[in-house]
Amino acid sequence: MNPSCNLFIVGPTGAGKTSVGRRLAVHYGLSFIDLDQEVEQHCGVDVGTVFEVEGEAGFRQRESAQLDALSQRSGVLLATGAGAVLAADNRRWLARRGFVVWLQASIEQQLERLERDHRRPLLAVPDRVARLHAMAAAREPIYRELADLAVPGHHGSVGAASERCIELIDAHWERESPFPSAHHA
């Protein structure tokens, strides 16, 4: 059942928002959208290039514009970028326009999952551990406040994480939802 017309996934870099999001979209019959990919498609270049040319501030403006437009759609699962929650407008749109799921991941999990990933501009630093800790300190309180549901990140595979998300989402909706039940795929 899905009482909300949209499902939004937030969480740190490497939490599995895109991988898990794709599976959840299929399960709930929603159109999958990856916010970073939409920014890239709209700009015609990758996120790294946007950062190089416009800096983080320019990227965040583009990200917010896309998030606003995409979150107004109905029937979508939107996997946000890890930092999309930093802007107050973004948080307001996410909270008002859908059900927000926070995929959690420890610093150790992030390091393991991102070991070979060199495409993320904010992690192009000599000390990734320090950067991830700083990002977590700034963002985790925001994720906690924004999320309708937090999903612990201790699941090994994408399949296991997806199944656990479905269980937790369904259990939450069964307990909390004032909406009538609907069947899902």
pLDDT in tens, 11-41: 998 888 999 999 999 999 999 999 999 999 9
User: Which pLDDT value is given to residue 177?
Assistant: 55
- 74 annotated to a ligand binding site: no
- 162 annotated to a ligand binding site: no
Helix, strand, or coil (residue 111): helix
Tokens representing 111?
């390091």
- 36 annotated to a ligand binding site: yes
Q: What crossing angle do the helices spanning 35-43 and 47-71 adopt, rounded to 10°?
A: 110
What is the average pLDDT score of the chain? 87
- 119 annotated to a ligand binding site: no
Q: Characterize the bridge pairing of strands 76-79 and 99-103.
A: unpaired
| pLDDT more than 90, % of the chain | 59
Q: How confident is the model at residue 185 (pLDDT cuts 50, 70, 90)?
A: very low
**What structural domains and CATH numbers belong to the chain?**
6-176 (3.40.50.300)
Tens-place pLDDT, residues 113-135: 777 767 776 677 778 889 899 99
Q: Is the pLDDT of residue 85 over 50?
A: yes
Are residues 15 and 84 in contact, defined by beta-carbon separation less than 8 angstroms? no
Alpha-carbon span 21 to 7, nearest angstrom: 9
- 14 annotated to a ligand binding site: yes
Q: Which residue has the higher pLDDT, 120 or 178?
A: 120
- 13 annotated to a ligand binding site: no
Q: How confident is the model at residue 67 (pLDDT cuts 50, 70, 90)?
A: very high
Are residues 61 and 53 in contact, defined by beta-carbon separation less than 8 angstroms? no
- 82 annotated to a ligand binding site: no
